[in-house]
Amino acid sequence: MLKEECGIFGVFGHKDAAKLTYLGLYALQHRGQESAGIITFDHTRFRTIKEMGLVFEIFNPKNLSGLTGDMAVGHVRYSTTGSSNIKNTQPFLAETSKGTLAIAHNGNLVNAKELHGQLKSSGSIFQTALDSEIIIHLLSKSREKNLSDAFIEALKQVKGAYSLLLLDKNSLIAARDPYGFRPLCLGKLDSGWVVSSETCAFDLVGASYIRDIEPGEILLISKDGLKSIKPFPFDSHAFCIFEFIYFARPDSQISGQSVHCIRKKLGKRLAKEAPVQADLVMAVPDSGNSAALGYAQESGIPFEFGMTRNHYIGRTFIEPSQQVRDLEVKIKLNPIKEILKGKRIIVVDDSIVRGTTSRRRVSALKEAGATQVHLRISSPPIKYSCYFGIDTPQRRKLIASNKEVEEIKEFIGADSLGYLSMEGLLESAALPPQTFCTACFSGDYPIKIKDKINKFSLEEKT
């Protein structure tokens, strides 16, 4: 399963800033389960709590009450083992030539290595492996006196994916890269403003969704109200289509569209593109739910719950020993035998990465009695690594980069395997096709990737 790397949430001008951010992060927890943090400003001091763990493990009424102030930024983070480290938690706080700044970043810079080298040569020092630190260095070095001008100057030097929140003593600034890789939305609550990676966080805090921050937009929120700046020449947009397919929560809206409804459309289209005779349609819960329902409705084959999800496994299920292996797949989802026995089943999932988990699922379903297992994927084959904020494995580990669909089917042990076509995907996704980044399927990277560096190379050097 692919993993999203971050969720961000900010508040300006609301007395409950920390509490709202806490709730916002709760709602964005699916975007990162490794660490979380909140920084507030109370017009005297910046207050910080950042820890490894889930939002509910880190925050409580007592420590939240110490996060005084009416301005806040928060962050939830996922990352690979290598950088699993308290020093790489966000938001990032630093004193700079433009005052004390807190920054929260969702995305990935593709020229980080280059900038890092240049900055270091010029005498800058680095304490983390975060892109945020690079941006703050650039900002602090800017000759521009004004914070927003300096921020713009800094952003003009970075390339890649970023949805950013920047907090100083006077303002909250939200920024989205010119391609708009990652989402970022504006909401209103009472007389204050909130900014979030996804709208589902607005629902929880009771804010109303105003609009998306636009690709290339820098939005200043201060006591003088909103000010929108678009300092970049228009290139093309490249919104990560995987937000629709898998990452975003089904109850979020992107560009005004419900994620669940789009996923149902993907499922309906998939039913047309890859039909098969079967007794029932089921999802890999919960990521495949929406598409499976769409497939069932379109095909007329009954929808069923064929597996039960265990809600009580921790972030990582720890297998008790080597002798009792391969439990991770089983402990998460258990097939319901009476439903599956003797049936031809269609199983809908959002994607296949390495193929090993799918193989175990298919095998479990057959053991449970299914006579045929037809696997349907609500997106095209993933053949290329992502450099814009998603944790994909190296290309050679992506099964579709090495194998044809027929070979993948064989590997997985399914009776048939159907992927959604690129056309099917783009026609269902409800934004113009050219506005998406589809590089993981096509290899057409919106920004040229020079040396296919690993995202975590900065840290590995340390």
Is-contact 301 279, C-beta < 8 A? Answer: yes
Residue with structure tokens 């990676």?
197
Structure token digits, residue 60: 């409580």
Among left, alpha and beta (phi > 0; psi -120 to 50; other), residue 273 is: alpha
* Segment 322 to 351, residues that bind a copy of itself, using CB under 8 A: 323-324, 327, 330-331, 334-339
Is 78 one of the binding residues for a copy of itself (CB under 8 A)? no
Q: Which residue in the set 42, 52, 68, 94 belongs to the binding site for a copy of itself (CB under 8 A)?
A: 94
Q: Which stretch binds a copy of itself (CB under 8 A): 106-114, 171-179, 299-307, 374-382?
A: 299-307
Is 461 one of the binding residues for a copy of itself (CB under 8 A)? yes
* Segment 23 to 42, residues that bind a copy of itself, using CB under 8 A: 23, 26-27, 29-30, 33
By beta-carbon proximity to a copy of itself, the closer residue of 43 and 56 is 56
Q: How many residues bind to a copy of itself according to rule CB under 8 A?
A: 91
Q: Which stretch binds a copy of itself (CB under 8 A): 15-23, 172-180, 224-232, 396-404?
A: 15-23
Is 311 one of the binding residues for a copy of itself (CB under 8 A)? yes
Is-contact 248 198, C-beta < 8 A? Answer: yes
| Strand duo 208-212 + 218-222: pairing | unpaired
Is 310 one of the binding residues for a copy of itself (CB under 8 A)? yes
Is 164 one of the binding residues for a copy of itself (CB under 8 A)? no
Separation between Cα atoms, residue 376 and residue 272, nearest integer Å: 11
Q: Which residue in the set 43, 156, 230, 309 belongs to the binding site for a copy of itself (CB under 8 A)?
A: 309
Is 93 one of the binding residues for a copy of itself (CB under 8 A)? yes
Task: Give the residue from 426, 262, 267 showing the smallest Cα distance to 346.
Answer: 267
Task: Give the residue from 299, 301, 287, 300 showing the smallest Cα distance to 353.
Answer: 287
- Rounded-to-10 torsion of CA 273, 395, 237, 272: 0
Q: Which residue in the set 11, 38, 54, 345 belongs to the binding site for a copy of itself (CB under 8 A)?
A: 54
Is 303 one of the binding residues for a copy of itself (CB under 8 A)? yes
Is 2 one of the binding residues for a copy of itself (CB under 8 A)? no
By beta-carbon proximity to a copy of itself, the closer residue of 339 and 390 is 339
CA distances from 461 to 105, 118, 266, 390, 454 (A): 21, 15, 42, 21, 11
Q: Which stretch binds a copy of itself (CB under 8 A): 169-177, 180-188, 249-257, 430-438?
A: 249-257
Residue 33: helix, strand or coil by DSSP?
coil
| Strand duo 46-52 + 35-41: pairing | antiparallel
Q: Which residue in the set 42, 70, 203, 273 belongs to the binding site for a copy of itself (CB under 8 A)?
A: 203
Is-contact 13 20, C-beta < 8 A? Answer: no
By beta-carbon proximity to a copy of itself, the closer residue of 154 and 161 is 154
Query: DSSP state, 285?
Result: T
By beta-carbon proximity to a copy of itself, the closer residue of 60 and 442 is 60
Q: Which residue in the set 229, 261, 276, 453 belongs to the binding site for a copy of itself (CB under 8 A)?
A: 261
Is-contact 280 346, C-beta < 8 A? Answer: yes
Q: Which residue in the set 68, 80, 84, 100 belongs to the binding site for a copy of itself (CB under 8 A)?
A: 100
Separation between Cα atoms, residue 425 and residue 449, nearest integer Å: 24
Is 1 one of the binding residues for a copy of itself (CB under 8 A)? no
Separation between Cα atoms, residue 272 and residue 282, nearest integer Å: 16
Question: Is 6 designated active site?
Answer: yes
* Segment 269 to 298, residues that bind a copy of itself, using CB under 8 A: 286, 289-290, 293, 297
Q: Which residue in the set 113, 249, 268, 269 belongs to the binding site for a copy of itself (CB under 8 A)?
A: 249
Separation between Cα atoms, residue 324 and residue 317, nearest integer Å: 13
Q: Which stretch binds a copy of itself (CB under 8 A): 136-144, 157-165, 214-222, 226-234?
A: 136-144
Catalytic residue among 6, 386, 437, 440: 6
Residue with structure tokens 């993933």?
382
Is 433 one of the binding residues for a copy of itself (CB under 8 A)? no
Is-contact 185 212, C-beta < 8 A? Answer: yes
By beta-carbon proximity to a copy of itself, the closer residue of 141 and 397 is 141
Q: Is 146 exposed, middle or buried (0-12, 13-18, 19+ CB in 10 A)?
A: exposed
Q: Which residue in the set 137, 182, 343, 409 belongs to the binding site for a copy of itself (CB under 8 A)?
A: 137
Residues 392-431: x where in contact with a copy of itself by CB under 8 A, - otherwise, as a string? ----------------------------------------
Is 141 one of the binding residues for a copy of itself (CB under 8 A)? yes
Distance in Å from the first CA to the final CA of the chain? 29
Cα angle vertex 404, ends 302, 428, to 5°?
45
Q: Please identify every residue annotated as catalytic.
A: 6
